[in-house]
Structure 1
């Protein structure tokens, strides 16, 4: 939303700018404070150069002379903090700066009462702490669910491959079921503990950990050829574990 500026006094600030839309057309009135592009001094007290100013009768005024000196600046960026600060402040103003390249004013932040900002910060901090606690609870819940799933996956490995060492089955299950890994254990079939998905996880573990498959890939052997070369060893290991 663009700030309210009187077109009659706008040229005194930036002669080359186009005045923003009047407040009546926006449906709301507001105080506007400018971050000037040029060095300006207060027409009333002579202070300057001003980092923030208010236009009054077409002439720049410092915040003190404009009776806004008690307000504090809150840069844009935190929507919730800005909204709560405005809601709790009896007096507030929009801070804008003219963008010559885009030929328009852009909002930089707001000026609000210090007490209102402090209250808003406390509310936002409480929300942040609540979100952090919720994330921690969710992480614990996910970790417990992942642990139960990995145990179920290992149990299914041992059902299909009774002679697989239990510790090896747990390692295979843990590797295949890592959340977000995209491995077979996280697929729909893997989560359903289908025999095909479980067997695929065991086969991959044997291929990578019990054959020269990885070494062949490192030597530049195509994946299909490396799989064919190690297929016999993989099947022999699975046969032993199935008996």
Structure 2
């Protein structure tokens, strides 16, 4: 007899099939040892004798496939096994009609294709949104620093606003295109591309000291990009 213990709390009412922990034989046809059995009047029966031999086993793991297989199957059973350490039965999967499983798989495949197409549409929509935002970010760079070359402004905007990067362009201030966020992105670009900052870091100079050493160069570049616009306005 299967151990006395609590069955899985979410097992629906219906047929239960057990994966025995010990060698068991069918009380009716004497076949065994049985990989799966049904208890009838406290006696083990093989699936064939219990009229469940035509069902196929679907292991647990795919919730959608399991749910749809049971929906499609006129006859089904929940398969459980006793966990001695936890003193309880645990769900292992279900038995369903083979044709029902095939229909459920087709439904899941159709859903998977729909999800794939939705992901493609969402990716295109996000890419369009990102392109528009990068353009707006570059325009703000050019407004604050008119002397910044257009290609450079676009490169800074694209780098700073890359989705998932965690850079300033993805912050709340960056999304709002605040002057501080835009200036921070430009300063970072100048620091890495127009000064020996990276080489200083690689040579072991502490970050704060490296920034101090290149501060004048950064200020010169920014002033040049700012004053270029003032000169043209005059």
TM-score by length of 2: 0.90
What SS is found at the alignment partner of 1:190?
helix
Task: Name the stretch that deviates more: 54-63 or 70-79.
Answer: 54-63
**Cα distance in 2, alignment partners of residues 106 and 142 from structure 1:** 43
**Cα distance in 2, alignment partners of residues 19 and 82 from structure 1:** 25
What SS is found at the alignment partner of 1:123?
helix
1:204 pairs with 2:188: yes
Residue number among 108, 128, 144 corresponding to 1:124 in the alignment: 108
- Structure 1 match to 2:59: 75
Gaps of 5+ in 1: 1-11
**Cα distance in 1, alignment partners of residues 13 and 133 from structure 2:** 59
Task: Name the stretch that deviates more: 151-160 or 136-145.
Answer: 151-160
Residue number among 138, 141, 164 corresponding to 1:157 in the alignment: 141
- Structure 2 match to 1:88: 72
Residue deviations 1:61-107 (CA, integer Å, cap 9, x gap)? 21111100111111111222212222222211110001011111111
- Structure 2 match to 1:237: 221
**Cα distance in 2, alignment partners of residues 28 and 220 from structure 1:** 65
- Structure 2 match to 1:9: none
Residue deviations 1:95-137 (CA, integer Å, cap 9, x gap)? 0001011111111111111222222222222222111111110
Residue deviations 1:3-41 (CA, integer Å, cap 9, x gap)? xxxxxxxxx23xxx32436xxx99964211111111222
- Structure 1 match to 2:4: 18
**Cα distance in 2, alignment partners of residues 47 and 28 from structure 1:** 29
Task: Name the stretch that deviates more: 28-37 or 205-214.
Answer: 28-37
Matched length? 226
**Cα distance in 2, alignment partners of residues 124 and 52 from structure 1:** 27
- Structure 1 match to 2:45: 61
**Cα distance in 2, alignment partners of residues 154 and 72 from structure 1:** 60
1:173 pairs with 2:176: no
Q: Taking structure 1 as reference, are residues 26 and 237 closer, same or farther at Cα in structure 2, changes over 3 Å only?
A: closer
- 1:222 deviates by 2.1
TM-score by length of 1: 0.86
1:190 pairs with 2:174: yes
1:98 pairs with 2:88: no
**Cα distance in 1, alignment partners of residues 60 and 173 from structure 2:** 47
**Cα distance in 1, alignment partners of residues 178 and 90 from structure 2:** 58
Residue number among 127, 135, 156 corresponding to 1:143 in the alignment: 127
1:51 pairs with 2:42: no
Q: Taking structure 1 as reference, are residues 141 and 27 closer, same or farther at Cα in structure 2, changes over 3 Å only?
A: closer
Residue deviations 1:182-241 (CA, integer Å, cap 9, x gap)? 111111221122222111111110001111111222222222221111100001111111
The answer to whether the 8 A contact 2:11-2:78 is kept is: no
